[in-house]
Structure 1
Amino acid sequence: MRLSCQQEDLQRALGYVSRAVSRKSTLPVLGNVLLSAEGGRLKLAATNLEIAITAWADATVEEEGTITVRSDLLTEFVASLPNDSVSIELDRRTLSVAVSCARSKAHIKGIGAEDFPTLASIGDTEPTARIDPAEFREAIGQVAFAAATDDSRPVLAGVLAEFEGASLTLAAADGFRLSVRRCDLVEPSRESLSIVVPARALQELARIIGDLEEPIDLAVTPNRSQLLVRAGSIEFLSRLIDGHFPDVRHIIPQTYGTRMVVSRDEFLAAARRAKLFAQSNNDVVRIQMNPGDGELDPGFATISAQAAETGDNEDHLEAQVEGPQAHIAFNGRYLTEVLSVMRSNEVALEMTSPNAAGVFKPVGSDDFTHVIMPMVIGT
């Protein structure tokens, strides 16, 4: 293998694939990045067996070849080089890679590519759907945080992705809350199917597609074991979770007794202040909804928290309250997290009783729904 490429192109590609490098594996090759000179480009890939990332860098290839080298060492060395042409040459006899740029040169010991796992490519699979990267990234941000963080029930550590017609619905739940977001696809899905993707994998994918503008391709392997994503010059692969995800349609309450509409920014600020005091009292944040006397007095909401050791606080917010006076309490972290990911100017909170789930929705849009189980407290 012998090639040359620009330092900034190589550094960018290494930045992408290094996200998939295994940090704790007992297999040394999983701590390496695969370098493969083929088809007039340099292909880089890394995997931790949960996810895999492949990226390509433009290169002048004089001799094709492939090798794996330590990801951290190569990434940091390339990052320290000047923005100039980088030459890479493999000594097949010693499995050593010579990397040189300007007046700097290094030899990095490698491991043969035959020990590196074989990765599926979206080029081998017909794309299932196409989606706008900005909308997909926002949807992931509004859903993945609600997934369980432990593996006691593996399916709840994942995000349900349902492809149907021209829409993709993402849902995540951890037993205490549920987040659901519907997205429009650029092109209708080739088939209707449901898969469960690890939440951590989707969060990593969201970081990768952050600055992309062109639609990205999503593909599910025929055996339903992997999700493949093609985003520009990057391919992302994630294993899928095998299991039955709860029916989210049965979890979301369809009716309510009291509904309030309030400014998202004011609600979030008040919730954050209450959370400061709630930390010493099991994170209990109370919400009271008070209806008004008519159009000139639509009502108000009180957000409060108290703890014997730290004190208490109370915020009064202007709100449009429909229905009888009601109160409910939520975990302060759950409350601030959902309000942080909502993008509308106003949000609606719907409830039936203090012991039943509360439903959060953006006002003016029906593509996002979040359900939180209340904290049962005394009156």
Structure 2
Amino acid sequence: MRITLERSNLLKSLNHVHRVVERRNTIPILSNVLLRAEGASLAMKATDLDLEITEATPAMVEQAGATTVPAHLLYEIVRKLPDGAEVLLATTPDGATMTVASGRSKFSLQCLSEADFPDLTAGNFTHSFKLKASALKMLIDRTQFAISTEETRYYLNGIFLHTIESAGALKLRAVATDGHRLARADVEAPSGSEGMPGIIIPRKTVGELQKLVDNPELIVTVEVSDAKIRLTIGEIVMTSKLIDGTFPDYQRVIPQANDKEMRVDCQSFAQAVDRVSTISSERGRAVKLALNEGHLTLTVNNPDSGSATEEVAVGYDNDPMEIGFNAKYLLDITAQLSGDDAIFLLADAGSPTLVRDTAGDDALYVLMPMRV
């Protein structure tokens, strides 16, 4: 293999694929990126056996061929080369090493045979549909903060994506929960998604996907089966295994009869919560909300360091009530709201609270209270 390509193109593609590779690997080939030069492009592939990303980039191919080299090492070398540089990649006749040359810099990397590189066999996809990158990004951004990190409840370690009939229209819905809070977001269901199986996309796949859908104009092709999902974003193809488990019936925890409404300016509320929670203990993070007509008092008590209170003007004309929440969870939710105001629908101190965005009803949040 012998090819020449621009540093910027090589770096951009490497940046997308190398992140999949785990830093510590017991299987040496999984530390490598597969490079395949043919036609007028260089195709790169990286995998951790659960997630695979491939991308092609333009290149001048003098001699076609394929090899695998350490992914993070190659990325760091290319990253440190000067802007605008041309990079030559060439393997030795025996395929044992690959030279990376640019200007006066020359590196020699150990290769492993491309024949040993694993392939994440995709199988047949039962459903295929196209979605705007901006819509997919919205679904991810609004929900991914609520994904559970608790390994024992592995079926909560991802985003549940499914279609559902809502208000007389078919919606594509994303849901995530960790048992303390729940986030739900909807977009109009694209053609082809009807009847697709409900799937749980793993946390790592969600994180990588979030970085790849940064151009809102792109159209993403989504293909799903019971066990895998494949997403095509421009030149990038991402294939991932799905979480093999049953997502709980989240509809049951969404309260329907919360009749006490509090409307508050989102920014001033978030800033007040952030200020008073400065004094809370790392373990507790509890903030008490005392609601009275027209105003809200936020209180934090920490036996070790003191207490803090702050008042915020709110729209509320119901019976006085007190309820406690984890300050971090409140801040996570308010960070997702795009409207000026947040609407809290409450029942009592021991029941889940519903949070809505004034900018639209395509997202909704449920927050479990804390004892304070």
Normalising by the residue count of structure 1, what TM-score does the alignment of the two structures yield? 0.91
Instruction: Give the AA of the match of 2:242.
Output: L
How far off is 1:103 after superposition? 2.7
SS at match of 1:367: strand
SS at match of 1:249: helix
Segment drifting more, 309-318 vs 279-288: 279-288
**Does residue 340 in structure 1 map to residue 342 in structure 2?**
no
In 2: Cα distance, 1:197 partner to 1:182 partner = 16
How far off is 1:134 after superposition? 2.5
Which residue is 1:305 aligned to?
Answer: 300
Match for 2:173 among 147, 169, 172? 169
How far off is 1:64 after superposition? 1.9
Cα deviation per residue 1:218-270 (whole Å; 9 max; x = unaligned)?
A: 1113xx21111111111122210011111111110011131101110011011
Cα deviation per residue 1:42-90 (whole Å; 9 max; x = unaligned)?
A: 0011111232211111012232211100112211111222323222222
State how 1:262-301 maps to structure 2 within 5 Å. 262-279=264-281, 282-291=284-293, 299-301=294-296
SS at match of 2:348: coil
Cα deviation per residue 1:158-209 (whole Å; 9 max; x = unaligned)?
A: 2101135753211111111111111235545253321001123202210122
Q: Is residue 274–residue 332 contact of structure 1 (8 Å, CA) maintained in 2?
A: no
Instruction: Give the AA of the match of 2:322.
Output: H
Segment drifting more, 362-371 vs 271-280: 271-280
Which residue is 1:90 aligned to?
Answer: 91
Which residue is 2:193 aligned to?
Answer: 189
**Does residue 373 in structure 1 map to residue 372 in structure 2?**
no
Which residue is 2:315 aligned to?
Answer: 320
Instruction: Give the AA of the match of 2:266.
Output: R
Q: Is residue 132–residue 185 contact of structure 1 (8 Å, CA) maintained in 2?
A: no
Instruction: Give the AA of the match of 2:277.
Output: K
In 1: Cα distance, 2:219 partner to 2:253 partner = 32
Cα deviation per residue 1:346-370 (whole Å; 9 max; x = unaligned)?
A: 1111111100011111024111111
Which residue is 1:109 aligned to?
Answer: 110
Q: CA RMSD in A?
A: 2.0
Which residue is 2:51 aligned to?
Answer: 51
SS at match of 1:335: helix
Which residue is 1:295 aligned to?
Answer: none
Instruction: Give the AA of the match of 2:233.
Output: A
Q: Is residue 280–residue 309 contact of structure 1 (8 Å, CA) maintained in 2?
A: no
In 1: Cα distance, 2:30 partner to 2:231 partner = 21
Which residue is 1:294 aligned to?
Answer: none
When residues 245 and 69 of structure 1 are mapped into structure 2, their CA distance, relative to the original with a 3 A threshold, is same
Which residue is 2:219 aligned to?
Answer: 215
Q: Is residue 129–residue 217 contact of structure 1 (8 Å, CA) maintained in 2?
A: yes
Match for 1:226 among 222, 225, 228? 228
Identity across matched positions, percent: 27
In 2: Cα distance, 1:39 partner to 1:308 partner = 69
How far off is 1:328 after superposition? 0.8
How far off is 1:279 after superposition? 2.0
In 2: Cα distance, 1:101 partner to 1:89 partner = 12
In 2: Cα distance, 1:81 partner to 1:326 partner = 61
When residues 212 and 348 of structure 1 are mapped into structure 2, their CA distance, relative to the original with a 3 A threshold, is closer
Match for 2:208 among 192, 204, 213? 204
When residues 58 and 336 of structure 1 are mapped into structure 2, their CA distance, relative to the original with a 3 A threshold, is same
Normalising by the residue count of structure 2, what TM-score does the alignment of the two structures yield? 0.93
Which residue is 1:143 aligned to?
Answer: 143
Q: Is residue 356–residue 373 contact of structure 1 (8 Å, CA) maintained in 2?
A: yes
In 1: Cα distance, 2:209 partner to 2:232 partner = 11
Segment drifting more, 357-366 vs 273-282: 273-282
SS at match of 1:10: helix
Which residue is 2:249 aligned to?
Answer: 247
In 1: Cα distance, 2:334 partner to 2:102 partner = 49
In 2: Cα distance, 1:212 partner to 1:179 partner = 22
**Does residue 22 in structure 1 map to residue 22 in structure 2?**
yes
How far off is 1:273 after superposition? 1.3
In 1: Cα distance, 2:369 partner to 2:137 partner = 29
SS at match of 2:272: helix
Instruction: Give the AA of the match of 1:118.
Output: D
How far off is 1:280 after superposition? 6.2
**Does residue 329 in structure 1 map to residue 324 in structure 2?**
yes
How far off is 1:212 after superposition? 4.9
How far off is 1:316 after superposition? 1.5
Instruction: Give the AA of the match of 2:205.
Output: A
